[in-house]
């Protein structure tokens, strides 16, 4: 039995389905990640227009069917199209990993309002920004805070074994955080002092405040590599769209 549902959502993936339709993957405010069939969307007179294009923030109405994980969407209205973001190569390059993160990390229908809010805020800041350096800092902040919202928050202040505060630079990917000098034996990722400082700030500050942080190319490369390794270890999936600093 189907029941009608309404929610705000972000389009995170589209794929062709049959002759005139598409399967749309959305990260929704009320239901988390869902998949819907947009019938006739590829026909010239489609009622959906451009409302289900990648990145678009929209209000949708769909039929939720018990025992099914693919629903039928009946209506979609644009809230924000993110046109400027999509038409700028650099902003698109740094925004597409946000969608990949949601596609890989989020199970179906797992509501996460904090992650939804973070995602919208990040896309809005990337769209409004003209600096490549700021694109990078927004993306790294998103990934770090996003990991927290899916249950894999890395620890950069206290030793994950003995819980003492430490400025040691040994990070355990598998353990999920910093190890002090006494506990830091075995395979670890060695951070630079500057990268550790940046990571602590990214974790603490909101998106609007990280825009003023200065990150060197080396620090950006090191932090990116750490987050990529951390993600694949804890989720079993590899992010492939994160640009090199």
- CATH classification of the domain holding 121: 1.20.1440.120
Q: Are 77 and 50 spatial neighbours (Cβ–Cβ below 8 Å)?
A: no
Residues near 45 by beta carbon (within 8 Å), at least 6 away in sequence: none
Residues 224 and 135 in one domain: yes
The helix/strand/coil state of 31 is coil
Q: Are 53 and 65 spatial neighbours (Cβ–Cβ below 8 Å)?
A: no
Residues 96 and 200 in one domain: yes
Tell me how crowded residue 39 is: count the other CB atoms within 10 A of its CB.
18
pTM: 0.93
Residues 54 and 98 in one domain: no
Residues 195 and 137 in one domain: yes
pLDDT in tens, the chain (245 residues): 469 999 999 999 999 888 888 999 999 999 999 999 988 788 777 788 888 999 999 999 999 877 778 899 999 999 999 999 999 999 999 999 999 999 998 777 789 999 999 999 999 999 998 777 789 999 999 999 999 999 999 999 999 999 999 999 999 999 999 999 999 877 789 999 999 999 999 999 989 899 889 899 999 999 999 999 999 999 999 999 999 88
Per DSSP, the residues of 138-184 read HHHHHHHHHHHHTT---BSSB-TTT--B----EEETTTTEEE-TTT-
């Amino acid at each position: 039995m189907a029941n009608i549902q309404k929610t705000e959502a972000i389009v995170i993936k589209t794929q062709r389905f049959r002759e005139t339709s598409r399967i749309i993957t959305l990260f929704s405010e009320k239901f988390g990640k869902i998949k819907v069939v947009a019938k006739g969307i590829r026909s010239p007179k489609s009622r959906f227009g451009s409302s289900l294009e990648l990145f678009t923030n929209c209000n949708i109405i769909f039929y939720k069917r018990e025992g099914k994980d693919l629903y039928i969407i009946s209506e979609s209205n644009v809230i924000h199209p993110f046109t400027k973001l999509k038409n700028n190569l650099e902003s698109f390059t740094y925004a597409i990993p946000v969608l990949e993160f949601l596609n890989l990390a989020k199970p179906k229908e797992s509501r996460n309002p904090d992650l939804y809010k973070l995602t919208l805020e990040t896309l809005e800041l990337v769209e409004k920004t003209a600096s490549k350096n700021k694109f990078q800092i927004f993306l790294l902040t998103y990934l770090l805070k996003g990991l927290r919202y899916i249950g894999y928050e890395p620890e950069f202040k206290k030793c994950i074994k003995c819980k003492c505060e430490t400025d040691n630079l040994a990070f355990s990917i598998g353990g999920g955080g910093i190890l002090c000098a006494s506990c830091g034996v075995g395979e670890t990722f060695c951070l630079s002092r500057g990268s550790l400082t940046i990571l602590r700030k990214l974790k603490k500050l909101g998106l609007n405040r990280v825009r003023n942080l200065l990150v060197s190319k080396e620090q950006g490369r090191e932090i990116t590599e750490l987050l990529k390794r951390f993600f694949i270890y804890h989720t079993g999936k590899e992010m492939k769209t994160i640009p090199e600093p």
